[in-house]
Amino acid sequence: MEKPATSGARARPSARVWATALAALVPAGVAATHLPIVADAAHDTATVRVLGLAPAGVLRALDAVVAAAIVPIPMGTRAWRASFASTLCLALAAALMFSVAERRSRLGATAARAPGVFAALVVACFGALAPALQLEATSPGGATLGLLLALLPRALAMRGASLARVALCLGLAFAYEPLVGLLALAASGAALHARRATLPRSFAGLVPLAAAFLAGFAPLLGALALTHPARGAVFVDVLGEHWGPSHAPLAFAVEQLGVVGLGLAIGGLGVALASPALRTAGASSLVVVAICAAAIFKGSALGPDRYGAPALMAVTECALLVATAIGSAVAFVRETKVAYAQASGSLLMLMLAAMPARQADDALVRFATKQGAPERAFAALAWEHLPLGALVLVAGDELALRVASARAQGDVRGDVLFVTMRDRAVLSLLAREPRLAPLLRDQSLYGAPEEWSLSALAAARPLALSFDAAWPRPLSRHLVPAGIFDRFYAEPRGLSDRGAALDAQHDDRAALVRALTRAAAPEVARAVAAGYRARLIGAAASGDRDIAGRVLEDLRHVAPADPVAFDVARRLVGVRGAIDVSDLKGR
């Protein structure tokens, strides 16, 4: 079983300190080297949440707290600084991985002191350099903070910290996300089991706090049992973040650890369960991996652009089992009664040191091939076709989210003014653009802008927007495609103007489709689909069948199963002139 450290034989403090620093800096250094690249491909929802650009949920509030400590530092963009906070969390998590692995090696007497420290260092770097951890370490609001909170209680308990501190860390993990708290409790179960006699007394003081928590947040705790209406996931998407497609946990483990690493993890589990000193620790690891696998089966974020804390915890736990296997193999070789047994054990450790080197090489290759191409292609199509000093009315949630994230990353031109109609802060924009007053008045009185107010605004400065199905049909005749948005002119425009605009943007649209095909960027794809969907509805409302057909083809390249595309295509068959699109509102 896992026990707190005693005053027995220990590795030299200087060696342990240096090894801990290396375990933290190696994976963090690889991630930080590529922060400017991957931050441009940041998850939009996490970016706007940790930077306070959109309302945040109750869960994962600590992401914003950690990012707030880094954002004021004058370096890079705000999104880059928020990404750097995730990198620091990875560094601390790697140090905790080293601490746990080193304590386990001495607990099970699987290796001498120096090989045990070296094995823990190798495994900490090996686990922290896994692709999933590296991707989350370079994303604003990455799941590395959840991984850190899941690892912290076990590391403290194994180092002999007071149970009050362990309980505080468990409370932080549960407050961050209930599933992370469950993983932290399962991971620290072996270390806490050794001190089970004092547990009731130490945790008795948490009863009032638990009662208050249950009374105030009981509906929130039930979120784990709710079914997501859109994706059918048992674990509800509380923050609206992307939940990846269901993957087989075994395939995910092979992708992250490799066949050799996965084989060593299985061997380490067998060694731990067979050893009386490590049996409780092995059972704890088995429970953690089982919980992570269940979360992955039920829809926890599992790539290709985002990984949740359960996925990161699964990789970390397997890496710790690899440490057990390595320590046992080295001890077996060193204790064999043959010549040069000690030297052979040392050479075996050097050979196994190639594992984190391979992981680092794979991480560098992944970062080199993922240069944020979809984001750059989107920026080229969305912003470059807007006229100088344009005012853009953003209505859809997908486009508003992408705009807010792009502004935080510094990817939007400074001369463009974005107005999100559903944002409460829209009134503050009246100081920058007083001519918005008639538009806001129409929106408040009628729920849609009037032709006169939009025409007056378009006559004063360039105006771009996305057509809404609830708007009056005459507005659609003023639109001409301009990137993802449509430019609104003071006077109605003809079919030739729209066709010429689409022809001029053909290369940028094709480049965006190619980028989305090569690299997974679901939020960019959803934003592009939202813009094309609004253009398709506007073209159908104006009766421009040729434009509608071309836009329909663009939308099908980005979202092949879009229901609005099928609905509009069905209505265009055998119908002359404009069609009624009012029932498409909100779709």
Give the SS3 label for residue 339.
coil
Tokens of 121: 């260092």
Q: 386-411, pLDDT tens digit by residue?
A: 888 888 988 777 888 888 888 877 77
Mean pLDDT of 70-99: 83
What is residue 151's predicted lDDT score, i.e. its pLDDT?
A: 92
Contacts of 418 (CB under 8 A, 6+ apart): 392, 394, 403, 407, 412
CA distance 464 to 487: 4
Q: Is the pLDDT of residue 145 over 60?
A: yes
Mean pLDDT of 538-561: 85
Give the SS3 label for residue 295.
helix
pLDDT confidence tier of residue 382, bands split at 50, 70 and 90: confident
Question: What 8-state DSSP symbol labels residue 133?
Answer: H
Instruction: Please classify residue 232 by burial: count the beta carbons closer than 10 Å to its beta carbon, then call 0-12 exposed, 13-18 middle and 19+ buried.
Output: exposed
Give the range among 119-123, 243-247, 327-331, 417-421 with minimum mean pLDDT.
243-247
What is residue 346's predicted lDDT score, i.e. its pLDDT?
A: 72
> pLDDT higher for 115 or 209?
115
Q: Position of tokens 């970016």?
A: 47
> Please, what's the b/e burial string for 238-249 (b: 16 or more CB within 10 A of its CB; e: otherwise)?
bbebbbbeebeb
> pLDDT higher for 412 or 305?
412
Q: Is the peptide bond before 474 cis (omega within 30 degrees of 0)?
A: no
* Strand segments (E) across 427-478: 463-465
What is residue 10's predicted lDDT score, i.e. its pLDDT?
A: 47
Give me the chain's average pLDDT, please: 76
What is residue 114's predicted lDDT score, i.e. its pLDDT?
A: 62
Mean pLDDT of 241-266: 70
pLDDT confidence tier of residue 467, bands split at 50, 70 and 90: confident
Mutual angle of helices 309-335 and 178-187, in 10-degree steps:
20
pLDDT confidence tier of residue 252, bands split at 50, 70 and 90: confident
207 sits in which H/E element? helix 207-221
What is residue 424's predicted lDDT score, i.e. its pLDDT?
A: 59
Mean pLDDT of 514-542: 84
Question: What 8-state DSSP symbol labels residue 51?
Answer: T
Give the range among 41-55, 165-179, 196-210, 277-291 with minimum mean pLDDT.
196-210
Residue 11 dihedral angles phi and psi, to the nearest 5°: -70, 155
Mean pLDDT of 324-341: 77
What is residue 55's predicted lDDT score, i.e. its pLDDT?
A: 61
What is residue 7's predicted lDDT score, i.e. its pLDDT?
A: 45
Q: 153-202, pLDDT tens digit by residue?
A: 888 888 877 777 888 888 888 878 888 888 888 888 777 766 654 555 54
What is residue 33's predicted lDDT score, i.e. its pLDDT?
A: 65
What is residue 428's predicted lDDT score, i.e. its pLDDT?
A: 67
What pTM, to 2 d.p., does this model score? 0.74
Q: Is the pLDDT of residue 18 over 60?
A: yes
Q: Is the pLDDT of residue 9 over 70?
A: no
> pLDDT higher for 355 or 316?
316
Dihedral angle over CA of 206, 207, 210, 212, nearest 10: -120
What is residue 463's predicted lDDT score, i.e. its pLDDT?
A: 92
Residue 372 C-beta-side C-alpha neighbours within 13 Å:
21
What is residue 148's predicted lDDT score, i.e. its pLDDT?
A: 92
Give the SS3 label for residue 231.
coil
Give the range among 201-215, 327-341, 363-377 with minimum mean pLDDT.
201-215
